[in-house]
Structures are given as structure tokens and as C-alpha cells.
Structure 1
Amino acid sequence: MTSAPEFELANVGPGPDPCSLSALAADHDFVLVLLQRDHYCTNCREQVQQVASRYDEFEQRDAEVVSVVPEPRENVQEWQDSYDLPFPLLADPDVAVGEAYDQPVRFGFLGEWSDFLGRMPEAVLVDCRDADAGPEVVWSYAGRSTFDRPSVDDLLGAIDEHREG
């Protein structure tokens, strides 16, 4: 397990604004960080809607979902206006959280130059139960393409595995 990098970003969804990992960790056993590719990514949009439709199952596990979009607040606000997500939706225009959590980027320099071309989705599960150790990354899934992301069942399964383990 590794310490989860702290973050604090503008939040256009429910919860505190700005929203930080430490604030979420104080109120939940787990935080599931969904690092999105960009504002235009249809697979990212589908993922947050699928998670939202089963959000009660995350709540039952005392897990907060937070989606991080590497875009300015105005672009991320469009998602919230369209989908009314029940969890924090964070704007990360500087891609600071993606960098801190080693979000995968393809195509070398070209991918780093353009998030649209290179940034891939990632899901990171943070265990917040040990106040002395602090939030720790216990599971992650780094996508190799825009389509490569865990299902909602896989995300819930990862939480269950670490709750029991």
C-alpha cells in the first residue's frame, strides 16, 4: 500500500467546494477516485452515469466516489448540469491529480501535449480507515485505451475485497 496523494480541487457536484481527499477521508471508509480522460470522452460520460445509477451500493459500503476531469470548471459544470451526479465532480485543469496518481498517458510526447490524444482513464481505491496511517491506495486500474475501464461490478468488488481483507 502507498500513501494516497492529497488533493484539493473545485467541485461542481455535491459535497464541499473546494473538495479535498482529507475531507472525504474524514467521512468515509473508502474513496474511489475516477480519473477521466477529458470533457468530451463519451466513455467517461457513460462511466459516471453508470456509477450514479448504482450510487446507493457505494454508499452502503461507506465509499465515496469522486470523478476528476482534467478540464476547467466551466466544462466540468456541463457534466453536472447534464447528469446531476450524486457524488463530487472535480475540475482539474492543471491535471495535478492525474499526475499525482500516475494516470496513464499514451503516445509519449504527443500524448503529454494533448490530453485528448494521450490521457487514459484510471480508477483508484483509497482506504481511509486507518487514521494513523492516513489514506492509502489499495487498488487501482489503469486503462490502456479509452474503452478499458472497470465495470461498476468490478469497482464494487474491489471495495468488498478490501473491506473484508
Structure 2
Amino acid sequence: MLSEHTIAPDFTLPDAEGRPVKLSDFRGQKVVLYFYPRDNTPGCTRQACAFAAAYDTFRQRGVVVIGVSKDTQASHQRFAAKHQLPFILLSDPDHAVLELYDVWKEKKQYGKVSMGTVRSTYLIGEDGVILKAMPKVKPDTNAADVLAALDALEG
């Protein structure tokens, strides 16, 4: 994971509609940047739906929510439509940004070793500094944990 209190690396990736989205476009706002393995899998769906359920709270607090995976734009479109996801999903099929944020790692599952996305979340401040780095997050509690981190930082 990248270190807290360092500048979040800037990047540009396409959203589900193919529009380029630049992290630095959100300077002046806090950003939840969450990385997840794959659209429409059980854990990733629960995680996305939890962020969707809390989306109004994030918005009221002026926080932008962005999900990133290596899935295609078309996959993101279907995922967002199926689950009414109101936030930005970015496509990183070459996993360049996943690597930049140190979440593309060797994973072991059922004795098999492969490269993949480790479910991780960064909370980035208005000035682009990483306020909180959250490795190996749990899909069911990630959104609530981010809100708790916001409370702790602002309290």
C-alpha cells in the first residue's frame, strides 16, 4: 500500500461511458478510491452495493466515491445498471493504476498462485494527500469503515 500522508499519484482512466476521468479533477474534495477484483462477483457486488447505500451520506459530506477494477467499460456499464450504482467506476484493463497504487499483487487461492487485485481503499484529502490507507478491506464493512475514518479525521 502507498503510505498515508503522501500525495496520491495522479492518473487518468476511462469511466463506464468511456469518458476520461483524472484523479486531480477532484482536488478540493475528499475522494474514496476503492480497488476491487471483479464486477458482478459476490464480494464485489456486496461492497459496491454498500457504497451505493451510503452514497447520499458521502455526497452530503462532499466526498466523491470512485471504484476501480481491471474490468472493461462494458462490464462496468452492466454492473452499474444492474445494481443502480450512482458513483464512478473506472476501467484499468492493463492494471497500470492498480500497480501504481500497489494493489496488484500475487494471490493464492486453493493452492494456485496468480496476480490479481487486493481489495483496498484509499481516503484522499482535498489537497490530494492520502489520509487513510486501508489494505485488505472487507466487502461488507468497507463503506462503513470509510465513514468511521472520516468521522475520526474530522472529529
What is the TM-score normalised by the length of structure 1?
0.79
Whole-Å separation in 1 of the counterparts to 2:133 and 2:141: 10
Aligned counterpart, 2:97: 97
Whole-Å separation in 1 of the counterparts to 2:50 and 2:139: 15
Deviation track 1:66-89 (CA, whole Å, cap 9, x = no partner) reads 011211212222111212211111
Aligned runs of 1:37-116 on 2, under 5 Å?
A: 37-103=37-103, 105-107=105-107, 110-112=113-115, 115=116
Whole-Å separation in 1 of the counterparts to 2:147 and 2:46: 17
Aligned counterpart, 1:21: 23
**Aligned to 1:102, what secondary structure does the other structure show?**
coil
Residue 12 (structure 1) aligned with residue 3 (structure 2): no
Deviation track 1:140-162 (CA, whole Å, cap 9, x = no partner) reads 11117xx5674322110112222
Aligned partners of 1:73 and 1:91 also within 8 Å: yes
Assess, with a 3 A threshold, how the Cα gap between structure 1 residues 72 and 127 changes in structure 2: closer, same or farther: same
Percent identical: 26
Q: 2:150 aligns with which of 147, 151, 159?
A: 159
Question: RCO (CA 8 Å, sep 6+): is it higher in 1 or 2?
Answer: 2
CA drift of 1:121 comes to 0.4
What is the TM-score normalised by the length of structure 2?
0.83
Deviation track 1:41-82 (CA, whole Å, cap 9, x = no partner) reads 311111111111121110122111001121121222211121
Gaps of 5+ in 2: none
Q: CA RMSD in A?
A: 2.3
Gaps of 5+ in 1: none
Assess, with a 3 A threshold, how the Cα gap between structure 1 residues 3 and 150 changes in structure 2: closer, same or farther: farther
Assess, with a 3 A threshold, how the Cα gap between structure 1 residues 149 and 84 changes in structure 2: closer, same or farther: closer
Structure (1 or 2) with the greater strand fraction: 2
